[in-house]
């Protein structure tokens, strides 16, 4: 029994000695490490230990990136277009135009059956001849009675009746002349002619169809003046007149035309809460068709600056900066002024030039002493 107790005490002593040796070894190792790297437990940890490169992403400032612009998509429409119809009713006898045809002023577009108009014209001509004859007769009668009145052969009442008959005949002749003129106009209205040069954009009637007065039979776009219709947000309504506008086209990416605001709706759309705007094209281009998808680019020179990614903006002493990459992977801070924040970019002003490369990801790991290596995605 006593022998077992002695053996237990010996084993406990050996274990304590081994544990002390391990603790001493660890303490010595930590002390040596702290001597070699005194900043390992301090607050001034180097951002670039042992001279290693920091891998970052870069963004290259593009040419012409110093202009704040807004883009809105709409459609190309003619400025002037009208629905054209006959000024009298009747049955269409013939159609003389096709959809998409360019017409000249005075060109015949449609014709009505002229039978009824011809009859009305004959009646008006007959009434005019009758009224003219009556006027001539009453005028001669009044002249004769005037001569007899000087000799006292005719009473004053007979003379007055002759003068009244002449005046009535003259009024009837004037009315007959007007009816004849109206009948001639009605006959002319059987031919529907273009009142200006234009393009036929819609046909709404065919030969044999009976139409009423003013019923549209076709739609014409007048002249070649075109405009782009877009919807603007309320934030641009007050400044859009001072912005420089250009029009581009989805099917013609090589075409860029100057434009100007012609009309802006004073009332917002109840659903989209946007305002209809019409931009007149100041230049023309071939092969532009009505209804083409177009975009209006509005350049806001009041917001001129450089477009950079949001992630590239850092802060130094409470002021925004970006890190420009120079030779040998070195970086330098460039102070910037934030003009505007957008969804994924910011418009800034500063000493930035086209083709400059700035750090766009990883700015939180950089200082003036850092060396960076740009990570290129394959």
Indicate whether 288 and 309 sit together in one domain: no
Indicate whether 249 and 155 sit together in one domain: no
**pLDDT at 27 > cutoff 80:** no
- Of residues 98 and 328, more confidence is placed in 98
Looking at the chain, the whole-number percentage of residues with pLDDT higher than 90 is: 39
- The neighbouring-strand residues paired with 161 are none
Report d(CA 240, CA 231) in Å as an integer.
12
Indicate whether 286 and 313 sit together in one domain: no
Does 184 fall in a domain? yes
How deeply is 165 buried, as exposed, middle or buried, from its count of CB atoms within 10 A (0-12, 13-18, 19+)?
A: middle
pLDDT score recorded for residue 337: 80
Indicate whether 104 and 179 sit together in one domain: yes
Q: Are 323 and 350 in contact (CB under 8 A)?
A: no
Q: Nearest CA to 72 among 223, 274, 343, 221?
A: 274
Give the end of a domain, one of 278, 302, 326: 302
Mean pLDDT of all residues in 90-95: 95
What CATH code is carried by the domain that includes residue 229? 2.40.30.170
Q: For residue range 176-228, what is the model confidence (pLDDT) as tens digits?
A: 999 999 999 999 999 999 988 888 989 999 999 999 999 999 999 886 788 99
Report d(CA 46, CA 77) in Å as an integer.
63
Number of domains in the chain: 3
Phi then psi dihedrals of residue 3, to 5 deg: -65, -40
Give the end of a domain, one of 247, 282, 302: 302
Indicate whether 234 and 274 sit together in one domain: yes
pLDDT bin (cut points 50, 70, 90) of residue 264 is: very high
Indicate whether 246 and 188 sit together in one domain: no
Report d(CA 120, CA 126) in Å as an integer.
10
**pLDDT at 38 > cutoff 70:** no
Indicate whether 110 and 177 sit together in one domain: yes
What CATH code is carried by the domain that includes residue 114? 1.10.287.470
Indicate whether 229 and 134 sit together in one domain: no
Indicate whether 295 and 314 sit together in one domain: no
Report d(CA 195, CA 103) in Å as an integer.
10
Does 154 fall in a domain? yes
Indicate whether 96 and 128 sit together in one domain: yes
pLDDT score recorded for residue 52: 57
pLDDT score recorded for residue 61: 73
pLDDT score recorded for residue 302: 58
User: Among 29-38, 129-138, 234-243, 334-343, which stretch is predicted with the lowest mean pLDDT?
Assistant: 29-38
Does 216 fall in a domain? no
H/E element holding 81? strand 81-85
Q: Nearest CA to 261 among 246, 242, 280, 275?
A: 280
Do the strands 372-374 and 54-60 form a parallel or antiparallel pair, or are they unpaired? parallel
Residue numbers of the domain that contains 140? 86-193
pLDDT score recorded for residue 304: 62
Does 111 fall in a domain? yes
Buried b vs exposed e over 200-239: b needs ≥16 C-beta within 10 Å? beebebeeeeebeeeeebbbbbbeeebbbebbbeeebbee
pTM of the model: 0.52
Q: What angle do CA 40, 46, 52 make, to 5 degrees?
A: 110
pLDDT score recorded for residue 40: 38
Mean pLDDT of the chain, nearest integer: 80
Does 35 fall in a domain? no
What CATH code is carried by the domain that includes residue 341? 2.40.420.20
């Amino acid at each position: 029994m006593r022998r077992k107790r002695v053996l237990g005490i010996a084993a406990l002593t050996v274990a304590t000695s081994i544990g002390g040796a391990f603790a001493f070894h660890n303490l010595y190792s930590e002390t040596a490490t702290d001597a070699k790297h005194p900043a390992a437990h301090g607050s001034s940890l180097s951002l670039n230990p042992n001279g290693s490169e920091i891998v970052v992403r870069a963004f290259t400032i593009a040419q012409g990136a110093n202009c704040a612009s807004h883009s809105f998509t709409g459609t190309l429409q003619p400025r002037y277009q009208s629905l054209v119809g006959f000024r009298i009713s009747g049955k269409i006898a013939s159609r003389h135009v096709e959809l998409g045809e360019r017409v000249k002023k005075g060109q015949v577009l449609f014709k009505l059956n002229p039978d009824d108009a011809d009859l009305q014209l004959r009646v008006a001509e007959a009434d005019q001849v009758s009224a003219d004859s009556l006027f001539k007769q009453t005028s001669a009668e009044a002249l004769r009675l005037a001569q007899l009145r000087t000799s006292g052969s005719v009473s004053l009442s007979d003379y007055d009746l002759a003068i009244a008959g002449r005046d009535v005949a003259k009024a009837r002749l004037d009315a007959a002349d007007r009816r004849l003129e109206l009948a001639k106009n009605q006959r002319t209205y059987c031919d529907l002619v273009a009142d200006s040069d234009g393009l036929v954009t819609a046909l709404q009637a065919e030969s044999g169809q009976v139409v009423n007065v003013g019923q549209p039979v076709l739609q014409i776009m007048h002249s070649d003046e075109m405009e782009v219709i877009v919807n603007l947000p309320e934030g641009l309504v007050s400044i859009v007149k001072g912005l420089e506008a250009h029009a581009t086209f989805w099917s013609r990416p090589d075409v860029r035309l100057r434009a100007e605001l012609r009309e802006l709706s004073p009332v917002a759309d109840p659903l989209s809460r946007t305002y209809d705007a019409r931009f007149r094209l100041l230049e023309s281009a071939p092969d532009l068709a009505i209804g083409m998808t177009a975009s209006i680019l509005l350049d806001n020179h009041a917001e001129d600056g450089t477009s950079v990614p949001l992630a590239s903006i850092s802060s130094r002493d409470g002021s925004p900066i970006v890190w420009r990459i120079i030779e040998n992977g070195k970086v330098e801070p460039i102070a910037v002024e934030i003009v505007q924040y957008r969804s994924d970019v910011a418009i800034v002003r500063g000493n930035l030039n086209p083709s400059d490369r700035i750090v766009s990801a990883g700015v939180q790991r950089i200082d003036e002493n850092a060396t960076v290596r740009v990570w290129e995605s394959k």
